[in-house]
Amino acid sequence: MPLHRLTHVVIGVPNVEQTAAYYTDFGLTPRQDHRPTPQEPQPSQHILSTVDGGDQMRIVHSARRRLIELGVGADNPDDLDRVAAALAKLDIPVHRTADSVAAADPGTEVLVRVELAPRYEQVPTPPPAYNTPGIDARLHERAPAILRDSPVRPRKLGHVLLGSTDQEGSQRFFQQGIGFKVSDLVAGQAAFMRCSTDHHNLLVQQAPISFLHHTSWQVDDVDEIGRGAAAMLEADPGRHVWGLGRHYVGSNFFWYLKDPAGNFSEYYSDLDCIVDDALWKPGVFEAARSLYAWGPPPPPSFLAPEDLAALMTGAHAPSQ
């Protein structure tokens, strides 16, 4: 498909420094030229990168936590022309430049920027040798995963989950306007959509207010999920939200943690891959199966973040 990945997110938070420190602990790499300087002791933004995706997160100040911008990679200017034309058919205002098309989705209040970007070049992770019944693939040695001691580094930004006050409108914006494809649906509530061969790069769900639920970051395997989460919780047990588990929709292993602004962040691995659209039939899921296949049950705060009422109050407060 002409769209091929998420390029970046711009997250607005009230507490920029604390949130940036959290994502550094999470394994993202801060840009060296955004360290404090005598001229700018508190940088106005922090840029962080992944191993394979480069600069994929920008953290800026905002009165309330929210996703300000979502970047989507396209191959060539013709792809941008098609996106601009499709958005125009939906009567969505478009800002077109030589290398990007930008438009805002009213339901999520996110500016989506489709931009020319190179495709990922990911060095393959060697599959681990697992001993299973009848197959002794690893003899006379401990599992290499338990000997790892380097910090966990996310490989790429995988997906985001957004709350929308108009889920159907947002799905139409991303599907008919931007060019995402629907992978699976949660009956009457949400759509899992993709702009790459990953099962999903975006989940849009109905919500009483537009907000960022979580960002999700790919790591090599389930051991990296466990190691990453263990390190994060050793530093601060209060970061824990939900995990370890495995989703049914998308099939990926997961562990969710919470940043100081209230956004969730997910380590994931082993996500379903869709290369041939004709070989994948979207399903419609309900109840627990839409959430997970196994693991601890999701806490109430995952389904309805604890600050949701405060976000609603702040969003509807008169401007100062």
pLDDT in tens, 237-249: 999 999 999 999 9
Give 221-287 as a DSSP string.
SHHHHHHHHHHHHHH-GGGEEEEEEE-SSS--EEEEEE-TTS-EEEEEE---B-S-GGG---EEE-G
Helix axes 16-26, 222-235, angle to 10 degrees: 140
pLDDT band at 287 (very low <50, low <70, confident <90, very high): confident
CA–CA distance, 292 with 215 (Å, rounded to integer): 17
Q: Using an 8 Å Cβ cutoff, are 51 and 94 in contact?
A: no
The sign of the dihedral angle between the CA atoms of 291, 277, 169, 311 is positive
Q: Using an 8 Å Cβ cutoff, are 24 and 16 in contact?
A: no
Residue 40: per-residue pLDDT: 58
Q: Using an 8 Å Cβ cutoff, are 72 and 80 in contact?
A: no
List the structure tokens of 209.
Answer: 């207010």
CA–CA distance, 111 with 275 (Å, rounded to integer): 28
46-71 average pLDDT score: 97
Q: What's the chain's average pLDDT?
A: 94
pLDDT band at 112 (very low <50, low <70, confident <90, very high): very high
What percentage of the chain exceeds 90 in pLDDT?
A: 87
Residue 288: per-residue pLDDT: 80
Backbone angles phi and psi of 215, in degrees to 5:
-110, 150
Q: For residue 320, is pLDDT > 50?
A: no
Placement of tokens 């466990």 in the chain: 226
List the structure tokens of 285.
Answer: 């899921």
CA–CA distance, 232 with 238 (Å, rounded to integer): 9
Specify which of 43-52, 202-211, 305-314 reaches the highest per-range mean pLDDT: 202-211
The sign of the dihedral angle between the CA atoms of 293, 294, 300, 305 is negative
Q: Using an 8 Å Cβ cutoff, are 216 and 268 in contact?
A: yes
List the structure tokens of 318.
Answer: 């008169």
pLDDT band at 188 (very low <50, low <70, confident <90, very high): confident
Residue 295: per-residue pLDDT: 97
CA–CA distance, 127 with 110 (Å, rounded to integer): 37
Q: Which amino acid is at 303?
A: L
Strand (E) or helix (H) holding 310: helix 308-315
CA–CA distance, 298 with 166 (Å, rounded to integer): 25
Residue 72: per-residue pLDDT: 98
pLDDT band at 204 (very low <50, low <70, confident <90, very high): very high
Residue 21: per-residue pLDDT: 97
195-220 average pLDDT score: 97
Residue 42: per-residue pLDDT: 62
- Tell me how crowded residue 44 is: count the other CB atoms within 10 A of its CB: 9
CA 80 to chain centre: 23
The sign of the dihedral angle between the CA atoms of 35, 38, 41, 43 is negative
Task: Name 265's bridge partners.
Answer: 215, 257
285-290 average pLDDT score: 84
Q: For residue 120, is pLDDT > 70?
A: yes
Residue 307: per-residue pLDDT: 92
